[in-house]
Chains A and B, each alone.
Chain A
Amino acid sequence: MIAETGLIALWLAAALALLQFALGAIGLRAERNDYYAAIRPVAVAQGLFVSLSFLLLIWLFLRSDMSVRLVVMNSASVKPLLYKFAGTWGNHEGSMLLWVTVMGLAGAFIALFERSLNKRTLVATLAAQAFISLGFYAFLLVSSNPFERMFPVPADGQGLNPLLQDPGLAFHPPTLYFGYVGLSVAFSFAVGAMITRDVGAAFAKAMRPWVLGAWIFLTLGITAGSYWAYYELGWGGWWFWDPVENASLMPWLAATALLHSVTVLATRDSLRAWTLMLAVVAFSMSMIGTFLVRSGILTSVHAFAVDPERGSFILALLAIYIGGAMALFALRVGTVKEGKRFELVSREGALVANNLLLSVILALVFIGTLYPLLVEAVTGDKLSVGPPYFNLATGPLALLLVAVMAAGPLLRWRRDNPKALLNRISIPILITAAALFALALFTTGMSILALLGLALAAGVAVASFAPLWKRNLRRTPLHTYGMVIAHFGIAVALVGMACESSFTEERLVAAQPGDEIAVNDWKLKFEAIEPMAGPNWTALEGRITAQYGDGAIHEITPQNRMFAAAQTQTSEAALLTRWNGQLYVVLGDGDSEGRWQIRVWWKPFVTLIWYGGILVALGGFLAMVGRLRRGYKQRKQREFVEATL
Chain B
Amino acid sequence: MNRWLLWLPLVLFGLFFAAVATGLIMPKDNIIESKMVGKPMPTFALPAAIEQRPGLSSNDLVKGKPTLLNIFASWCVPCIAEAPQLLELQKAGVEINAIASRDTPEDIANFLNRWGNPYTRIGTDTTSKVQLELGSSGVPETFVIDGNGIIVHQHIGDIRQEDIDKLLELLEDAG
Contact = CB atoms under 8 A, between A and B. Distances in A.
B24 interface: yes
A308 to B, nearest CB: 6
Nearest to A324: B10
Contacts of B14: 323
B31 interface: no
B13 A322 contact: yes
A273 interface: yes
With a 10 A CB-CB cut-off, give which of B3, B17, B20 has the most chain A CB atoms. Answer: B20
B25 to A, nearest CB: 9
Contact of B10 (A288, A311, A323): A323
A374 interface: yes
Given A273-B1, A334-B3, A569-B127, A373 B23 contact: yes
Contact of B17 (A280, A323, A333): A323
A197 to B, nearest CB: 15
Contact of A374 (B19, B26, B127): B19
B13 A377 contact: no
Interface in B1-24: 1, 3, 6-7, 9-10, 13-14, 16-17, 19-24
Main secondary structure of the interface of A (DSSP, over half): helix
Interface in B88-132: 102, 127, 129
Given A284-B13, A370-B19, A373-B19, A330 B6 contact: yes
A402 B127 CA distance: 47
Interface in A590-626: 592
A319 B24 CA distance: 14
A315 B17 contact: yes
A370 B16 CA distance: 9
Interface residues of A, number: 34
Contact of B24 (A288, A315, A326, A589): A315
Contact of A334 (B6, B17, B22, B127): B6
A175 to B, nearest CB: 26
A152 to B, nearest CB: 19
A567 B16 contact: no
Given A297-B24, A377-B26, A319 B17 contact: yes
A329 B23 CA distance: 28
A273 B3 CA distance: 12
A569 to B, nearest CB: 7
B19 A377 contact: yes
Contacts, number: 61
Contact of A326 (B1, B10, B22): B10
Given A308-B24, A377-B26, A589-B129, A330 B19 contact: no
Contacts of A330: 6-7, 9-10
Contacts of B16: 288, 370
Contacts of B23: 297, 373, 376-377
Contacts of B13: 284, 322-323, 326
Interface in A312-368: 312, 315, 318-319, 322-323, 326-327, 329-330, 333-334, 338
Interface residues of B, number: 22
A273 B20 CA distance: 28
A295 interface: yes
Nearest to A291: B20
B78 to A, nearest CB: 17
Contacts of A297: 20, 23-24
Contacts of B6: 329-330, 333-334
B5 to A, nearest CB: 9
B48 to A, nearest CB: 15
A462 interface: no
A330 B16 CA distance: 18
Contacts of A569: 127
A273 B8 CA distance: 14
Contacts of A319: 17
A114 B26 CA distance: 46
Contacts of A373: 19-20, 23
A277 interface: yes
Given A322-B13, A326-B9, A315 B127 contact: no
Interface string A265-300: 000000001000100110010001001000111000
Contacts of A308: 24, 28
A327 B17 CA distance: 15
B29 to A, nearest CB: 8
A590 to B, nearest CB: 10
A569 B3 CA distance: 57
A308 B22 CA distance: 12
B81 to A, nearest CB: 21
A588 to B, nearest CB: 12
Interface in A515-574: 567, 569
A330 B10 CA distance: 8
Contacts of A329: 6, 9-10
Interface string B129-152: 100000000000000000000000
B117 to A, nearest CB: 24
A373 B7 CA distance: 24
A326 B10 CA distance: 5
A185 to B, nearest CB: 20
B136 to A, nearest CB: 16
Interface string A577-597: 000000000000100100000
A377 B1 CA distance: 34
Nearest to A288: B16
A338 B20 CA distance: 34
A374 B28 CA distance: 14
A589 B128 CA distance: 12
A469 B24 CA distance: 56
Contacts of B20: 291, 297, 315, 370, 373
Given A280-B9, A323-B10, A569-B127, A377 B22 contact: yes
Nearest to B15: A374
A373 B17 CA distance: 12
Contacts of A273: 1
Contacts of A284: 13
B2 to A, nearest CB: 10
A592 B127 CA distance: 13
Given A297-B20, A297-B24, 17 more contacts: A280-B9, A308-B24, A315-B17, A315-B20, A322-B13, A323-B10, A323-B14, A326-B13, A330-B7, A334-B1, A334-B3, A334-B6, A373-B19, A373-B23, A377-B23, A569-B127, A592-B45
30 contacts: A273-B1, A277-B9, A281-B9, A284-B13, A288-B16, A291-B20, A295-B24, A308-B28, A312-B24, A315-B20, A315-B21, A319-B17, A322-B13, A323-B14, A326-B13, A327-B10, A329-B9, A330-B6, A330-B10, A334-B1, A334-B3, A373-B19, A373-B20, A373-B23, A376-B23, A377-B19, A377-B22, A377-B23, A377-B26, A589-B129
List 6 tightest A-B contacts by C-beta distance, closest first: A326-B10, A330-B6, A377-B22, A330-B7, A326-B9, A374-B19
